[in-house]
Amino acid sequence: MFNWKTCRVIRSRQIVDAIFDVAHNWTIYISGMCVRQDGSEYLKSLEIAPNGMYLASQLTEVIEQYYTEVRDSCNPKHLVAYGWIAIPSSVSLDEALAAKVFAAAGAWNQVKAA
C-alpha cells in the first residue's frame, strides 16, 4: 500500500486498519502498462468512481467489471502489466501521477509473458 501523493509505502498499522476496516467512497484508476517498440512507456487507463461506500475487500468485484475494457483497449504487443490504484476518496488522478505510483510499486519492471 502506497501513499498516492508521495509514492511512499504506508507502514502505519493504524492507517492500514482505517483504510481496510472502514467503508469509503473510492476512486479507482485501472491501467494497462504498455511499452512501444521504441521503449517509450504509456498507460491505457480508465478512472471510475463506484456509487456507494465499499470496504477495500469489496473492490475486486467493482474492478473486474472494468478490467476487460482496459485490457481490450491495449495493444497486446505492447502490454507489460495491469494495475490499479484505489484511493479512499473522491479524487481524480492524472496519468503522470498514476505512472509515478505504478513505477514506485515496480509495475513497469514486469517480465512480459510469451
| DSSP one-letter string for 73-99 | HS-TTTEEEEEEEEESSS----HHHHH
Confidence band of 49 (pLDDT split at 50, 70, 90): very high
Task: Decide if 56 contacts 45 (C-beta within 8 A).
Answer: no
Q: Rounded mean pLDDT of the chain?
A: 88
Average pLDDT over residues 18-24: 90
Per DSSP, the three-state class of 55 is coil
pLDDT of residue 114: 45
pLDDT in tens, 68-114: 999 999 999 999 888 999 999 999 989 999 998 988 888 877 655 44
Q: Which of 97, 8, 101, 19 is nearest to 59 (CA)?
A: 19
Residues 6+ away with beta carbon under 8 Å from 55: 20, 21, 22, 23
pLDDT at site 5? 81
Region 44-69 average pLDDT: 91
Q: pLDDT band for position 16 (50/70/90)? A: confident
Paired strand residues for 82: 32
| Cell reading at 15 | 492507517
What is the predicted pLDDT for the residue at 78?
A: 94
Q: What is the pLDDT of residue 36?
A: 94
Q: Exposed, middle or buried, 113 (CB in 10 Å: 0-12/13-18/19+)?
A: exposed
- The Cβ of residue 49 has, within 10 Å, a number of other Cβ atoms equal to 13
